[in-house]
Structure 1
């Protein structure tokens, strides 16, 4: 399931984050790639020291945690501090799958990957996030401030940047529900529950829908 989140960051937050990135030190992005992905990763990343000193990772993680759509669809248990990635003209990230366990020894299982777009789509050509699925590739390029969340278990890539610079934040989430199909069922049922609560708040069927959601979450979650 691919979830697009509009307006995760407002204009003020975007401006401040871009200013921090402009002042920070960028390093070769391959240093944070896994063994297999390292060979196809060609970008730059804001150094962890620069991000930590500015509190940027915590700020972005807080924005995700504070977004109701993100919480309902991803059911986050742990969110890694996001990395700021920059792609100049000619840079790309070839097909890869994210590491299953990150930030060892206190490992986070990467159930969901998240990309937050930090500059406008008109600032660069190419640079689409391309996510594999049973229905073919899905190409994603969103406005500044928007985010996309998708299963980290998928093969995905970043198409070459043909003009300009692509600036994004990327992170990974361990969900209370590890199975993507179960998360999708819960997400759909949550939408049904909310619709019923608005239109038939006193109906017995509304209570049954909420009961089913709660019991499925109880059955599938891993506290």
Structure 2
């Protein structure tokens, strides 16, 4: 069953810059998809359209659920509450939950990402990896049908990368529909069932990770991690 269908999407900005051209693909429920592309490839523009933060110039996007939740590259920009508990409550309150239901929803979401013990901490004092996990908790609390991660390893140290990989692995095991935008394939590609390459606003490859690694990725300014790692199963930083 489909979770997302993108049909003939284009995006042209007022200055006539063409960010996306005739993009079409669909993602199944529970599928883990990595979308790779260099800076300027159009992947962040595409995800902002899927998340409903912007409108396409042409084409349609259908989400077969409520909507998509986006974990921003800059995790600090997504923090709205003083504490993790307040932050996760911010979105969940809009669902009209009663006080006890809201508390249970927030605590369950924080527990899922391993932050319940820090629910009363100062949210901005969390590590980079914890801030991304907090963003995931906020999305889980409002039950988004698709979770999108935009460059989830940006500016993280090794412990932070490991935390993000662990939560991605957990979400996959829970059959969540996941889209990860990254050029750092060596950190996460082993979890993916689907691999899409964007370049200059167009899809250049769409298939399995194993098939993708046999492509000349360098022609699209993507480093092939198999030059450093022996096989696909090694491409996960845990």
Superposition TM-score tier, normalisation by shorter sequence: under 0.3
Larger relative strand fraction: 1
